[in-house]
């Protein structure tokens, strides 16, 4: 306590309030509350069910080696506004609204990039949820074998998540206590929750022409086909003619580059076994406990920056892959309101304050969008630690400040990527020196331990486009009493002097391309 707090505490210590509970009031209130609770229970059996139909944009994984590539969505879901429908159409949608459980398969074409390899594949994923707080997601297809069948189970009540992969029988258990998201309506940061608001994007269809295409065959049975149009999008619903329950829903756009999105095998209010949402990994799996790599305050920042990134993606999806020139463009385009944008741009503990993020229109011609910074935290004075950045491929990372500085430089791509790896290694060495009384690691093998494996260190030393290849970055133990700004700690190794110079990283974390070979040899001797 400060002196002033002690002074006040002493002052109020013997003050007596009239604050003794009246048990008559307490008991009467209890009866009223139980009555309300009863009424709510009856209502809940037909309660509105919220269902995530749009793919969750969880392109979030951080990897030190940058070996895992992130999915680039071509078919961006349009954030639909209410359209309305004919009675049959509305009834079909209404049945979704009333479901307590929901499951469906979602299918659409997606592009991907993995180093130099890129292509498209048909993404198929199964969604299911059980109110109030359980969700399950299965990736049925993937361009990477390891992720085929990957299943994620989220329990928002317990704030825990289990993810497992049948291909290699591995599983991770995550603590979600610092898992945050943004409320699209208010721009506020909140803990993640079962996302039921997305149901509205399917259900709120603007009043428009609804065509009844009569009975058609779908997977061997007779169903009724209805269609609704909004701008360039056509929504088709195949409905069970007896129950009016939707069996399949398709969104299709006139733009040929935009993949249709199909929701099929729709099941409403069916029994979903509890074990589908169990947080116990399957038998025989190797389980690893994953702690959040992000401190809580950075997790909140991360939620904001990822949301901003997603909105930029939505804008690009609607504008022929052109990102906004400035963030105000996403307001003008109607993606979000100005008020929400301002809230998200502000610091988590100061929602009415000034922006703490900087937007940078990404270079969409860059080969590797995963290194193209689009949004980053800004400071009056840069912190010694890490900052959050969002990249043009949609993923976000917590990276050392020097890495961000390198990413923002207009260097040739190879040198830039090399220097990014060097700054990562520098940051690891910096952590090491803090734990070892200012002593640098004798060799990079000294860094191997709980947090980082030998494999991670080797990947960081390898060429940017050959993560499994030979080492091209060498470590040089700096003299601790030397000027850190001129003491080289990492440098590029080569067979022949490169025409565009050699990249080095100094002990103060700053990187430079040395064009003069003599100077380079002097620095690294």
Partner 1 sequence: MDENSGLVIQACSDKAAFVQLYHRHYDVIFRYCAHRLFDRTAAEDVTSEVFLKMVENIYSFRGTEEQFSCWLYRIATNAVNQYLRRMNRRNRLFRAACEKSNEVVADCEESTEKLILLKEGVLTLKPRYQTIITLRFFENLKMNDIAEILGSSPGTVRSQLARALVKLRAKMSIGETAQSAGGSKDD
Please tell me whether residue 156 binds partner 1 under the rule CB under 8 A: yes
State which residue, 181 or 508, has the beta carbon closest to partner 1. 181
Please tell me whether residue 350 binds partner 1 under the rule CB under 8 A: yes
By CB under 8 A, the residues from 59 to 98 that bind partner 1 are none
CB of 180 to partner 1, least distance (A): 11
State which residue, 277 or 520, has the beta carbon closest to partner 1. 277
State which residue, 15 or 289, has the beta carbon closest to partner 1. 15
State which residue, 245 or 279, has the beta carbon closest to partner 1. 279
Please tell me whether residue 33 binds partner 1 under the rule CB under 8 A: yes
Burial 272-294 (b: 16+ CB within 10 A, else e): beeeebeeebeeebeeeeeeeeb
State which residue, 5 or 271, has the beta carbon closest to partner 1. 5
CB of 133 to partner 1, least distance (A): 7
Please tell me whether residue 177 binds partner 1 under the rule CB under 8 A: yes
> Which of 25, 116, 117, 242 lies at the binding interface for partner 1 (CB under 8 A)?
25
By CB under 8 A, the residues from 127 to 146 that bind partner 1 are 132-133
Size of the site for partner 1 (CB under 8 A): 42
β-partners of residue 474 are: 491
State which residue, 307 or 369, has the beta carbon closest to partner 1. 307
Please tell me whether residue 466 binds partner 1 under the rule CB under 8 A: no
Would you state the structure tokens that stand for residue 401, as one six-digit string?
Answer: 């400040």
CB of 198 to partner 1, least distance (A): 15
- Contacts of the segment 280-287: beta carbons below 8 A, 24+ positions apart: 280/162, 281/162, 281/164, 281/171, 281/173, 282/164, 282/166, 282/169, 282/171, 284/169, 285/164, 285/169, 285/170, 285/171, 286/169, 286/170, 286/171, 287/170, 287/171, 287/172, 287/173
CB of 461 to partner 1, least distance (A): 38
> Which of 48, 68, 74, 191 lies at the binding interface for partner 1 (CB under 8 A)?
191
CB atoms within 10 A of CB 164: 20
Does residue 166 have a cis bond before it (omega within 30 degrees)? no
The window from 192-200, 335-343, 362-370, 469-477 that contacts partner 1 (CB under 8 A) reads 192-200
The window from 57-65, 102-110, 157-165, 337-345 that contacts partner 1 (CB under 8 A) reads 157-165
**What does residue 508 show for φ and ψ, rounded to 5 degrees?**
-90, 5
By CB under 8 A, the residues from 281 to 320 that bind partner 1 are 297
The window from 4-12, 287-295, 454-462, 470-478 that contacts partner 1 (CB under 8 A) reads 4-12
Helix count (H) and strand count (E) of the chain?
A: 11, 25
Would you state the structure tokens that stand for residue 364, as one six-digit string?
Answer: 């969409």
By CB under 8 A, the residues from 256 to 285 that bind partner 1 are none
State which residue, 22 or 450, has the beta carbon closest to partner 1. 22
CB of 245 to partner 1, least distance (A): 25
Question: Using an 8 Å Cβ cutoff, are 140 and 127 in contact?
Answer: no
Cite the DSSP H helix spans in 22-162. 23-44, 87-97
DSSP code for 280: S
- E-strand ranges in 243-320 read 246-253, 261-268, 286-290
CB of 8 to partner 1, least distance (A): 6
Question: Using an 8 Å Cβ cutoff, are 343 and 351 in contact?
Answer: yes
Report helix, strand and coil shares of the chain as percent, to nearest 5. Answer: 25, 30, 45
State which residue, 179 or 430, has the beta carbon closest to partner 1. 179
Binding-site string for partner 1 from residue 363 to residue 392, where x marks contact by CB under 8 A and - marks none: ------------------------------
Question: Using an 8 Å Cβ cutoff, are 374 and 359 in contact?
Answer: yes
In whole angstroms, what is the distance from residue 264 CA to residue 249 CA? 7
- For the chain, the residue count is 525
Sign of CA dihedral 416, 421, 427, 432: negative
CB atoms within 10 A of CB 146: 12
Compute the chain's Rg from CA coordinates: 27
In whole angstroms, what is the distance from residue 47 CA to residue 348 CA? 32
The window from 34-42, 267-275, 393-401, 431-439 that contacts partner 1 (CB under 8 A) reads 34-42
> Which of 274, 275, 325, 349 lies at the binding interface for partner 1 (CB under 8 A)?
349
Please tell me whether residue 521 binds partner 1 under the rule CB under 8 A: no
CB of 179 to partner 1, least distance (A): 10
CB of 45 to partner 1, least distance (A): 12
> Which of 87, 120, 146, 157 lies at the binding interface for partner 1 (CB under 8 A)?
157
Measuring CA to CA, which residue among 220, 196, 170, 54 is closest to residue 123? Answer: 54
Please tell me whether residue 29 binds partner 1 under the rule CB under 8 A: yes
State which residue, 26 or 525, has the beta carbon closest to partner 1. 26
Query: For strand 134-139 and strand 151-155, is the pairing parallel, antiparallel, or unpaired?
Result: antiparallel
Please tell me whether residue 42 binds partner 1 under the rule CB under 8 A: no
The window from 18-26, 109-117, 484-492, 517-525 that contacts partner 1 (CB under 8 A) reads 18-26
Please tell me whether residue 353 binds partner 1 under the rule CB under 8 A: no
- E-strand ranges in 306-372 read 346-347, 350-355, 357-359
State which residue, 226 or 301, has the beta carbon closest to partner 1. 301
CB of 95 to partner 1, least distance (A): 21
In whole angstroms, what is the distance from residue 199 CA to residue 437 CA? 55
At residue 218, the 3 state secondary structure works out as: strand
Footprint of partner 1 (CB under 8 A): 2, 4-5, 7-9, 11-12, 14-19, 21-22, 25-26, 29-30, 32-34, 36-37, 40-41, 44, 132-133, 156-159, 177, 191-194, 297, 349-350
């Amino acid at each position: 306590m400060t002196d002033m707090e002690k002074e006040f505490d002493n002052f109020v210590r013997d003050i007596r309030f009239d604050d003794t509970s009246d048990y008559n009031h307490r008991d009467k209130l209890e009866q009223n509350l139980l009555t309300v609770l009863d009424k709510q229970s009856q209502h809940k059996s037909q309660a509105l069910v919220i269902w995530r139909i749009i793919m969750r944009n969880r392109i979030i994984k951080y990897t030190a080696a940058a070996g895992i590539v992130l999915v680039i969505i071509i078919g961006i879901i349009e954030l639909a506004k209410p359209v309305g429908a004919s009675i049959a159409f509305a009834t079909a949608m209404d049945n979704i609204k009333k479901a307590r459980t929901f499951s469906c398969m979602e299918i659409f074409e997606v592009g991907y990039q993995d180093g130099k390899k890129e292509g498209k594949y048909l993404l198929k994923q199964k969604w299911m949820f059980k109110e109030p707080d359980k969700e399950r997601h299965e990736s049925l297809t993937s361009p990477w074998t390891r992720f085929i069948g990957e299943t994620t189970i989220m329990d928002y009540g317990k704030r825990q998540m289990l993810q497992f992969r049948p291909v290699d029988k591995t599983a991770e258990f995550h603590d979600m206590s610092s898992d945050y998201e943004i409320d699209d309506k208010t721009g506020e940061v909140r803990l993640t929750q079962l996302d039921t608001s997305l149901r509205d994007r399917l259900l709120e269809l603007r009043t428009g022409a609804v065509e009844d295409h009569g009975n058609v065959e779908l997977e061997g049975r007779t169903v009724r086909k209805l269609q609704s149009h909004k701008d360039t999008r056509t929504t088709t619903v195949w409905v069970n003619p007896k129950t009016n329950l939707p069996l399949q829903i398709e969104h299709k756009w006139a733009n040929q580059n935009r993949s249709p999105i199909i929701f099929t095998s729709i099941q409403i209010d069916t029994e979903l076994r509890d074990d589908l949402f169990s947080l116990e990994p399957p038998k025989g799996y190797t389980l690893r406990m994953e702690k959040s790599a992000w401190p809580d305050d950075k997790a909140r920042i991360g939620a904001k920056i990822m949301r901003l990134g997603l909105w930029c993606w939505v804008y690009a999806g609607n504008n022929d892959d052109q990102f906004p020139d400035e963030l105000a463009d996403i307001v003008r385009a109607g993606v979000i309101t100005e008020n929400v944008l301002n809230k998200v741009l502000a610091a988590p503990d100061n929602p009415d304050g000034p922006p703490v993020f900087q937007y940078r229109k990404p270079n969409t011609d860059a080969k590797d969008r995963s290194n193209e910074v689009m949004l980053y935290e800004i400071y009056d004075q840069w912190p010694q630690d890490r900052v959050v950045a969002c990249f043009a491929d949609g993923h976000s990372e917590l990276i050392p400040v020097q890495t961000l500085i390198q990413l923002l430089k207009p260097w040739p791509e190879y040198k830039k990527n090399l220097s990014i790896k060097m700054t990562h290694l520098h940051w690891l060495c910096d952590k090491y020196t803090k734990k070892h009384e200012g002593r640098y690691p004798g060799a990079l093998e000294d860094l191997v331990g709980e947090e980082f494996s030998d494999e991670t260190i080797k990947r960081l030393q390898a060429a940017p486009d050959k993560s499994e290849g030979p080492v091209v970055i060498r470590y040089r133990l700096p003299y601790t009493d030397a000027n850190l700004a001129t003491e080289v700690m990492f440098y590029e190794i080569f067979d022949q002097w490169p025409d565009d110079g050699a990249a080095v990283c100094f002990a103060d974390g700053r990187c430079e391309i040395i064009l003069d070979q003599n100077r380079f040899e002097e620095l690294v001797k």
